[in-house]
């Protein structure tokens, strides 16, 4: 039987607070799924319900074809890695990794072999006798990951495991975790509020807000086709415009854009979103002959932010602060500076159109 994990109509209430509201998902064996959302959206509560550390109010957790709601955490075939490394300070690296194996009464020679394999897998060969206090944060998290993998779990759950680490170490460990997942063919469920982390690692991303699943899809689908203005704002960066349909166009201030997708929504008021990298600079990233005249706007560059591979330019459109991004190579050739006038092109098909506007995240 396929070892799929099914989240079946799960709800969780804490008194009058609804932490999870009838969520459903089937996670396939060997899949890497990220629960992504702002603080308080219910993602960690759901992870704790899957592991058995939290009881659900209604619904079922089904694994390998059977309901496991009443199965204690130690009896589930799951490993878990927390944000805090939760290593035993008085135990060596070897003893920490071997802990779960000893609890399962595995023979000593098998434990030694398994620990050696894990140390090699985690790039920690030769660190057997070190204590957690002698390790860097990244090394400690590798030990915690190794300890969870040592018991050969069918499903590994990770609760914001990289959030306490420096940016460069986080990026390196992302690669380690993704590589391990491929090599071991293990099912991974990863909780994060970091959208870049989710997009970089997951096979599927589950966007959560207010205890609900708002969109489920591949990183590409989530980024390219956000279903709501909240998702367009939370995942990546978007420019937003409150506009009104008039005479076959969509009017934002004094500008009347052509936006074909707007015709599909009822009512006259619509909200437009466009990614900074999808706005073109006429004469730099696109020729004027390839543009629809109605969607060309002249602006003044207010701020230039160099971000490494891309350069972000800030401008104002009808009083609203907005962004456009170009590659560092193109920027170097153009010599754009603060105060320069640019003609920007807003491609008609690059707009996402919504009937509601998100409430700004705090």
* pLDDT per position as a tens digit, 257-287: 999 999 888 889 999 999 999 999 999 999 9
Tokens of 165: 């680490």
Position 4 pLDDT exceeds 60: yes
Position 161 pLDDT exceeds 80: yes
Residue 190 sits in the same domain as residue 114: yes
Q: What is the pLDDT of residue 2?
A: 63
361: in domain: no
Angle between helices 108-121 and 93-103 (to 10 degrees): 130
Position 211 pLDDT exceeds 90: yes
Read off the pLDDT of each residue in 103-119 and give the average, rounded to a whole number: 89
Tokens of 7: 């989240």
Residue 166 sits in the same domain as residue 245: no
Residue 198 sits in the same domain as residue 289: no
Position 62 pLDDT exceeds 70: yes
Residue 179 sits in the same domain as residue 266: no
Find the domain containing 186 and state its range.
5-230
246: in domain: yes
Residue 162 sits in the same domain as residue 270: no
Read off the pLDDT of each residue in 117-126 and give the average, rounded to a whole number: 87
Residue 283 sits in the same domain as residue 265: yes
Please tell me what DSSP assigns to residue 358. P
CB-CB contact of 77 with 63 (8 Å) = yes
Read off the pLDDT of each residue in 99-103 and give the average, rounded to a whole number: 87
What whole-number distance in Å separates Cα of residue 152 and Cα of residue 155?
A: 9
Instruction: Output 122 or 286, whichever has higher pLDDT.
Output: 286
Q: What is the pLDDT of residue 1?
A: 44
The predicted model scores a pTM of 0.89
Q: What is the pLDDT of residue 360?
A: 55
Q: What is the pLDDT of residue 362?
A: 35
Tokens of 253: 């201030």
Position 31 pLDDT exceeds 60: yes
CATH assignment at residue 76: 3.40.50.300
Residue 263 sits in the same domain as residue 295: yes
Residue 104 sits in the same domain as residue 180: yes
Out of 182, 197, 230, a domain closes at 230
**Domains identified in the chain, total number:** 2
pLDDT digits (tens, 9 = 90+) for 236-252: 999 999 999 998 899 99
């Amino acid at each position: 039987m396929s070892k799929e994990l099914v989240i079946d109509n799960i709800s969780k209430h804490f008194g009058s607070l609804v932490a999870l509201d009838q969520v459903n998902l089937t996670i396939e064996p060997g899949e890497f799924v990220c629960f992504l959302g702002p603080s308080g959206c219910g993602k960690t509560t759901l992870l704790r319900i899957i592991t058995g550390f939290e009881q659900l109010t209604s619904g079922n957790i089904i694994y390998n074809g059977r309901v496991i709601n009443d199965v204690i955490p130690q009896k589930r075939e799951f490993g878990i890695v927390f944000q805090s490394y939760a290593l035993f300070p008085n135990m060596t690296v070897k003893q920490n990794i071997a802990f779960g194996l000893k609890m399962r009464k595995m023979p000593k020679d098998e434990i030694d072999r398994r620990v050696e394999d894990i140390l090699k897998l985690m790039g920690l060969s030769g660190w057997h006798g070190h204590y957690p206090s002698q390790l860097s944060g990244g090394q400690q998290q590798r030990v915690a990951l190794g300890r969870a993998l040592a018991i050969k779990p069918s499903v590994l759950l990770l609760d914001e495991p990289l959030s306490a680490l420096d940016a460069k170490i986080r990026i390196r460990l992302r690669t380690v975790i993704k590589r391990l997942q491929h090599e071991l063919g293990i099912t991974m469920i990863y909780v994060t509020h970091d959208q870049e982390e989710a997009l970089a690692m997951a096979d599927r991303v589950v966007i959560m807000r207010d205890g609900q699943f708002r969109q489920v899809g591949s990183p590409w689908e989530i980024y390219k086709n956000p279903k709501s203005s909240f998702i367009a704002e939370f995942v990546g960066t978007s420019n937003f415009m409150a506009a009104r349909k008039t005479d076959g166009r969509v009017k934002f201030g004094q500008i009347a854009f052509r936006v074909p997708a707007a015709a599909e929504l009822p009512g006259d008021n619509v909200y437009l979103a466009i990614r900074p990298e999808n706005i073109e600079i006429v004469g730099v990233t696109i020729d004027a002959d390839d543009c629809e005249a109605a969607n060309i706007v002249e602006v003044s560059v207010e701020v230039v932010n160099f971000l490494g591979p891309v350069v972000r330019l800030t401008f104002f459109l009808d009083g609203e602060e907005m962004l456009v991004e170009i590659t560092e190579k193109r920027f170097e050739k153009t010599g754009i500076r603060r105060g320069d006038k640019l003609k920007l092109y807003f491609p008609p098909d690059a707009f996402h159109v919504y009937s509601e506007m998100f409430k700004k995240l705090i």
